[in-house]
Amino acid sequence: MKPIYKSLNKIAAMGLLAIGATAAEAQQNIPPSTPETYKGVVKKTLAESKEWWPKPITAPKGAPNIVWILLDDVGFGASGTFGGLINTPNFDTLANAGLRYTNFHTAGICAPTRSSLLTGRNHHYVHVGNFSHASTAAGFPGYDGRIPADKGTIAEVLRENGYSTFAVGKWGVTPDEDTTDVGPFDRWPTGKGFDHHFGFLESATDQYHPPHLVEDNFHVKPDGRNLNEQITDKAIAYIDRAHKAAPDKPFFLYYAPAATHAPHQVAKQWSDLYKGKFDEGWDVYREKVFANQKRLGYIPAYAQLPERNESIEAWNKLPADQKKLYARFMEVYAGYLTYIDDQVGRVIRHLKQTGQFDNTLVFVMIGDNGASKEGTFHGVIKPLKNPPKTTPTQDYIKNNEVELEAIGTPEASTNYPLGWAQAANTPFKYWKSDADAEGGTHNPLIIYYPKLIKEKGGIRTQYGHVSDIFPTTIEVAGLHLPEYIKGIKQDTLQGKSLFSSFNNPNAPSLHTTQYYYIFTNRSIYKDGWKAEAPHHPNSLELGIYPTVAPVEKPDYDKDEWKLYNLNEDFNERIDLAKKYPEKLKELKALFEAEAWKNHIYPFIDMSDVNSKRIHHLENNN
């Protein structure tokens, strides 16, 4: 038998049989050959044949680790890093050593933003016009919720460039029908290029008792801790395991916490940091933040603060018990944001301790849309199982101390009142899902990469969109876009790289045209001009949760278009539609062209969504 063992060992040495891969071998990704690419010689016997292996896929020498951080439901004026009154010291550190982008935009709501970010393309173009939920998806190219294989994700591209890839937290772009234990799993994170994923597939979840927690392709049980602590532990574990196996192989981490989407749930040690800090109310908050933003240069010197939304009461007119209640809502929210900043800090500190941070490219997107209006006018302190359309303030105040103690706990589904959402969106108007307004789509961006960014703490005002992060990442890291992924020819990207602005604050904006559309709230941006049409009834007017019946079929042609010159009026205070009708006509025609190109039609508004949601609930209860 000895000759046989000798033959096997010889074959192993030749590379035909792997017996225990070394660390160097572990980081190799050898692609399969095809009849067209194979360069060896195949005969009947091994002696006559000449083997050939495709060149292993490896990252370029010195390629950086890449970390994308995407927060949920955070307005422009929330974080201290961009002038807000909520402490975010770890974001401060990254921004002060990197760049603050103050003219960056998201799609206006979670799944559309995430699909655009992950693919570098517009959200309708990759079929995620709304959510991927069964009650909101629709059988049209822009709305079926199924990202096509020819629009590969950043993880798929980075894997083709020799990266390890990990995702933790919220995913949000898997169709509901595919989220069971039998899959199919090709639209889960592991089917879209990630080696590992730990988190949840839906749009929101309980922070202590997530009902559908998954790791890779399996549902797992939560351990009772705050979910954001768990995803941070997993992120660190994934990085460590990969680094131990292949120290020279770079990684990509997509860190997408549930924070600060409702339910706002966080330990009292964090929310109590803000005891009494918001007793002056949302009007004073807006004034203070606006002054900070102007003083620090995050908004133009000419800027003026828009009037408080007419649907929100003046703080000084509220009864004392209401003020006490509403202030506690904001204390919890602020603690929640500071807590997630601390969790991000844990990842950063670990990378520093293990010597990996100096070569890490970091993007921090503070919000996938503007602050949420889903707490409606009075806030929410109810279990997730049966949330009401609105909750009368007096129901909370009857047992004031009990309800105050409940806010933010694991037992309650908490969301703050609308007045605080407007405050968190300072200096802009309106809220999440209002894709017509900057308040729905204008979010802060931090880029950190000391190897290429010379100015520390610089401010950049170039127009940017969430689809730009993908091409920026590829260009900065010196990587290539594969022509094929898994044998499928890839479509072009629509985003534009921000790299030219890294060391040139006066670099021209490369992203010059962008549409926005959520539930028929729509707008179009072109070279500083913006035309927009809000649609009514919107989600707030209909109620966030199912109504008894849809409203009368809307006439979209009756929606009133407005026109703004954002170069001179960045937060949309002066409507120029009557002054420049030809410019408005030009932009409306541009929206029409973008709508057909990107599969925005047919319009699906909140009346249609509510009607479909009710039908879905009736058939599944």
Q: Check residues 389 and 104 and name the one with the higher pLDDT.
A: 104
**pTM for this model (two decimals):** 0.92
3-state secondary structure 602-614: CCCCHHHHHHHHH
Query: Could you tell me the residue range of the domain that residue 145 belongs to?
Result: 65-503+510-620
Domain membership flag for residue 238:
yes
User: Residue 412: how many CA atoms within 13 Å on its side-chain side?
Assistant: 22
Domain membership flag for residue 138:
yes
Overall size of the chain counted in residues: 621
Whole-number CA gyration radius for the chain? 25
CA pair distance 268, 264, nearest whole angstrom = 12
If you average pLDDT over residues 216-240, what whole number do you get? 97
Query: Count of domains in the chain?
Result: 1
Residue 254: in which H helix or E strand, if any? strand 251-256
Cβ burial, residue 197 (10 Å; 0-12/13-18/19+): buried
CA pair distance 201, 156, nearest whole angstrom = 18
If you average pLDDT over residues 455-465, what whole number do you get? 98
CA pair distance 178, 133, nearest whole angstrom = 10
Domain membership flag for residue 30:
no
If you average pLDDT over residues 509-516, what whole number do you get? 98
Pick from 152, 131, 126: which is nearest to 141 by CA? 126
CA pair distance 371, 427, nearest whole angstrom = 12
184-200 per-position pLDDT tens digit: 999 999 999 999 999 99
Per-residue pLDDT at 10 exceeds 90:
no
Per-residue pLDDT at 25 exceeds 50:
no
Beta strand residue intervals within 71-129, DSSP E: 99-105
CA pair distance 376, 544, nearest whole angstrom = 8
DSSP letter for each residue of 410-438: TTSEEE--HHHHHHHTTTS-S-TT-TTSH
- State residue 536's pLDDT score: 82
If you average pLDDT over residues 447-468, what whole number do you get? 97
Q: Give the pair of three-digit tokens for residue 532.
A: 């927009």
Whether residue 287 contacts residue 294, with contact meaning beta carbons closer than 8 Å, is answered with: no
Per-residue pLDDT at 150 exceeds 70:
yes
Which residues are registered as beta bridge partners of 99?
447, 458
Domain membership flag for residue 14:
no
Q: What percent of the chain has pLDDT over 90?
A: 78
If you average pLDDT over residues 138-146, what whole number do you get? 91
26-85 per-position pLDDT tens digit: 456 777 777 888 999 999 999 999 999 888 889 999 999 999 999 999 999 999 999 999
If you average pLDDT over residues 162-191, what whole number do you get? 95
Whether residue 419 contacts residue 326, with contact meaning beta carbons closer than 8 Å, is answered with: yes
CA pair distance 31, 53, nearest whole angstrom = 9
Specify the amino acid at residue 200: F
Q: What is the dihedral of CA 524, 527, 529, 535, to 10 degrees?
A: 10
Specify the amino acid at residue 463: Y
> CATH number for the domain including 426?
3.40.720.10
- State residue 159's pLDDT score: 97
- State residue 390's pLDDT score: 41
Domain membership flag for residue 34:
no
User: Residue 55: how many CA atoms within 13 Å on its side-chain side?
Assistant: 5
- State residue 33's pLDDT score: 78
CA pair distance 420, 424, nearest whole angstrom = 6
376-430 per-position pLDDT tens digit: 898 988 754 444 444 445 555 555 555 688 899 998 889 999 999 999 999 999 9
CA pair distance 70, 448, nearest whole angstrom = 14
**Ranges 387-391, 455-459, 555-559, most confident:** 455-459
pLDDT band at 557 (very low <50, low <70, confident <90, very high): confident
CA pair distance 299, 571, nearest whole angstrom = 9
Domain membership flag for residue 601:
yes
Per-residue pLDDT at 277 exceeds 70:
yes
Whether residue 221 contacts residue 181, with contact meaning beta carbons closer than 8 Å, is answered with: no
Domain membership flag for residue 33:
no
pLDDT band at 139 (very low <50, low <70, confident <90, very high): confident
Peptide bond into 537 cis (omega under 30): yes
Alpha-helical runs (H) found in 120-252: 154-160, 227-245
